[in-house]
Amino acid sequence: MTTIYIMWLRQVKRYLRSKSRIIGSLGQPILYLFALGYGLGQVFARAGQGNYIEFLAPGIIGMSVLFTSMFNGVEMIWDRQFGFLKETLVAPVSRFNIMLGRVLGGATVATLQGLIVFVLSFAAGFRLQMHNPVLYFFLAIVFMFLIALLFTALGTAIASMLTDFQGFQLIMSFVIMPTYFLSGAIFPLVGLPKLMSFITRIDPLTYGVDGLRGALTASNHFALSLDFSILVILSLIILSAGSYLFSKIQI
């Protein structure tokens, strides 16, 4: 447990010390929130879908959590390049505890980032649509953390197979961006072509965004219990796979 706590604390401290990183990572979510929210808001309303900002904000929060989670996972490549990872792995402690501490720390950081975007979304006109906002706000935090846990573990698993940053653009192009754009974060999941509907259903972020949307605006497409169950199951699977790949890292 001490190892897990130390690794968790290191990840959180690294995030809190980097003010430029916190501010920089808010640029894209804010741009998407205002540019898409107001740029497509009238089109969305004329189509009879209601307020686009209220629909879009949970997706933007999910995007912020996704990006921060994956970057925290892939950050392990940086640690490998500068020798910190080697110093950690030669210590007489369980590699699983090291990996779990890193993942939990990264997930905590990504959840904090999601909460910042959630607060900023109110400036764009977003409002909670729940009768019991306090209860469902905490439910939204649970979904943020599950998204963060899943994708931090995925980023760690991918980083365990890479030795340098040359493959980083491949991760951006073939993992992060498709995962976001095909999750229903910026478009409704109803009325899609069969192929598109199938793709969204196998995208794990779909269930995270849907859970956030249900918790914050009561406009979820799937049952919240289904969203929660899928995220938990996938998180456990990816954590197991990431743990195995992390244990195979050569130092």
| Mean pLDDT of the residues in the chain | 85
- Look at residue 127 and tell me whether its pLDDT is greater than 90: no
- Look at residue 118 and tell me whether its pLDDT is greater than 90: yes
Contact 11, 108 (CB under 8 A): yes
**Domain range summary for the chain, segments of one domain joined by +:** 2-27+54-247
- Looking up tokens 């269930």 gives 207
Residue 22 burial by Cβ neighbours in a 10 Å radius (0-12, 13-18, 19+): middle
- Looking up tokens 């935090």 gives 141
Pairwise CA distance, residues 14 & 112, whole Å = 13
Q: In this predicted model, what pLDDT tens digit does every residue of 79-90 receive, in sequence order?
A: 777 767 777 777
List alpha helices for 122-193, DSSP H. 133-159, 168-171, 177-181
Pairwise CA distance, residues 87 & 251, whole Å = 9
Mean pLDDT of 99-113: 90
Higher-confidence residue: 10 or 189? 189
In the prediction, which pLDDT does 231 show?
A: 96
User: What is the identity of the amino acid at 73?
Assistant: G
Q: In this predicted model, what pLDDT tens digit does every residue of 138-189 receive, in sequence order?
A: 999 999 999 999 999 998 888 888 777 677 667 767 888 899 999 999 888 8
Distances (CA, A) of 47 to 43, 93, 185, 220, 230: 6, 57, 17, 18, 31
**DSSP three-state, residue 86:** helix
Q: In this predicted model, what pLDDT tens digit does every residue of 21-63 receive, in sequence order?
A: 777 778 888 888 888 888 877 777 776 667 888 889 999 999 9
In the prediction, which pLDDT does 242 show?
A: 87
Residues above pLDDT 90, as percent of the chain: 35
